[in-house]
């Protein structure tokens, strides 16, 4: 199934509209962040009885067992076995399991902007191309009534879209925050891709580093 993104859509909202998991939409479309654009076509997974909408992905670590995972996330061993079509209770480090959600927390972060002063030769199209956004976005953010620009006019340029961070975990989940590591941001990184890489959450990284936006700089050092 395919869906064309409309103004105001979010990954979380689309997942609830179709009764599927937001994580499945990320994976199926190879998304590395929650930023989506109007007109973008997304593939929507089919919601099957063995793959319910309320679930998230968990990567098995050393010392894990089905019993310990079920206890942490307030579910049952039988439910995890059924959800993943497991033939035995043996687990492998790095194995990915579907886990039923027992709690969903959504944190909404507003879009970020920068200011731009119109110069001779500028047009909405050239500015949209320069900043990697759509003409409609510039018009909407600045409440423009026409496409004509004036030299010296100051425009708000969106540098980051509204982000909805979805955390899914069990009621008894208490992550170990006593240890950590550092990570140096590389080209193409996003908070979502880094969180996925280190099996943590975007909000944890934001909190750990006292970030005020989701924008990252190449070479920036993050505590994970």
Tens of pLDDT, residue by residue over 7-21, are: 777 777 787 677 777
Give the HSE-up count for residue 68: Cα atoms under 13 Å, Cβ half-sphere.
10
Higher pLDDT, 147 or 153: 153
State the helix-helix crossing angle for 135-142 and 124-131, rounded to 10 degrees: 110
Residue 31: closest CA among 182, 192, 163: 192
The answer to whether the beta carbons of residues 46 and 77 sit under 8 Å apart is: no
Q: What is the DSSP letter of 32?
A: S
Please determine, for residue 118, whether its predicted confidence score (pLDDT) is greater than 90. Answer: yes
pLDDT for 155 = 92
Residue 152, pLDDT score: 94
Angle at 203 between CA 202 and CA 204, to 5 degrees: 90
Local confidence band at 178 (pLDDT 50, 70, 90 cut-offs) = very low
Is residue 100 helix, strand or coil? strand
User: What is the DSSP secondary structure assignment for residue 192, as one 8-state letter?
Assistant: H
pLDDT of residue 49: 39
pTM of the model: 0.30
> Of the ranges 67-71, 119-123, 164-168, 185-189, which one carries the lowest mean pLDDT score?
164-168
Residue-level pLDDT at 107: 46
pLDDT at 128 over 60: yes
* Mean pLDDT calculated for residue range 128-142: 85
């Amino acid at each position: 199934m395919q869906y064309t993104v409309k103004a105001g859509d979010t990954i979380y909202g689309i997942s609830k509209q179709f009764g599927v998991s937001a994580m499945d939409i990320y994976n199926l479309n190879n998304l590395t962040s929650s930023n989506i654009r109007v007109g973008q076509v997304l593939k929507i997974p089919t919601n099957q009885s063995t793959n319910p909408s309320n679930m998230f992905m968990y990567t098995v670590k050393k010392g894990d067992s089905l019993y310990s995972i079920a206890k942490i996330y307030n579910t049952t061993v039988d439910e995890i076995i059924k959800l993943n079509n497991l033939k035995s209770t043996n687990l492998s480090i790095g194995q990915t399991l579907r886990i039923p959600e027992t709690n969903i927390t959504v944190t909404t972060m507003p879009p970020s902007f920068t200011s731009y002063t119109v110069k001779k030769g500028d047009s909405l199209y050239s500015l949209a191309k320069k900043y990697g956004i759509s003409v409609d976005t510039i018009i909407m953010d600045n409440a423009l009534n026409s496409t004509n620009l004036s030299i010296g006019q100051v425009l708000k340029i969106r540098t980051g879209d509204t982000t909805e961070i979805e955390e899914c975990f069990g009621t008894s989940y208490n992550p170990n925050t006593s240890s950590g590591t550092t990570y140096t941001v590389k080209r193409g990184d996003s908070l979502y891709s880094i969180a996925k890489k280190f099996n943590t959450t975007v909000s944890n990284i934001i909190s750990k580093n006292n970030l005020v936006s989701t924008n990252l700089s190449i070479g920036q050092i993050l505590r994970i």
